[in-house]
Amino acid sequence: MHDSTPRTEFDFIPAQAAAIGVAVPRVTRLSLTLESGRTISALRYGDVAPVVTLLHGAGLNAHTFDTTVLAMGVPALSIDLPGHGDSSWREDVDYSPRSMADDVATAIAAWTDAPQLLVGQSLGGLTAAVVAARNPQLVRRLVLVDITPGFEQSGVGQVRGFLDGATDFASRDEIVERAISFGLGGDRESTERGVFLNTRIREDGRVVFKHHFANLGGLPSGDAGSRPVVPLRALWDDLDAVAVPVALVRGDRGYITDANNAEFLERLPGSASFTIAAGHNVQEDAPVELGRVLGEIAGTAS
């Protein structure tokens, strides 16, 4: 990969669509100015109102769901969480789920016209739970991807190790090699794509991550990538307040242990759980299978 190669964020999508044998939808970048003056950004897939909205995990961005959305084949919205992708950084550096939820809800209300299948992975899943609890009119079903308020936090160390240290790099290739050395990103092609979409070239030519965490020197300790105002387990209260059906999709090599899964099902009677052969970033390890399961949950699977 060469930093001088001219590319846009949409140039990868045709190859991703071809790889799974589906048509290429129209994908557009959206931006909304919030009352705070910050902006929130998203990707819209298709020409009609979204029926699915997706929220990514810490250190990722809206494009992480590209192949999953292509596999689902439905109009969708994938939002860059505050401090990630093309969304503004927060001056207070508060990326806890309860702090981000209102910004996300404002974006969903602006860009959709019907209750959504709301899907959130990792930090995005915890944020989605708060959104659903506070805004039942926006959500028809909630899906958490490899996360619960009681998740196994030991796995975060791998990502934290990758982000700790240098905040800028000589090239994107340097970041790709670092990601591979930490066992992140899948095969080289997908890692190169992920690094391209999650970085920008600074005016001095150095490459930096788009998300705020890396520019702060890495993930804070103690949770899934936010700076919590409350302990994560307190977010069970938000899940308890969700009035719509809730499902958990976990990777068999992810953060959710059998005990975590059992706790989820016990605390949320009537909920469902699905397991996919994948790590924590299920949407990157098994995007087509995740798309199939989400379609099954939504009732749109063929």
What are the tokens at 144?
A: 């958490």
> Which residues have a catalytic role annotated?
122, 146, 280
For the CA atoms of the chain, what is the radius of gyration?
18
In one-letter notation, the amino acid at residue 272 is A
Within 13 Å, how many C-alpha atoms sit on residue 227's CB side?
13
What are the tokens at 128?
A: 């989605």
State how far the Cα of 105 lies from the Cα of 127, in Å rounded to an integer. 10
With CA atoms as reference, report the closest residue to 239 among 66, 35, 101: 101
What are the tokens at 137?
A: 């009119």
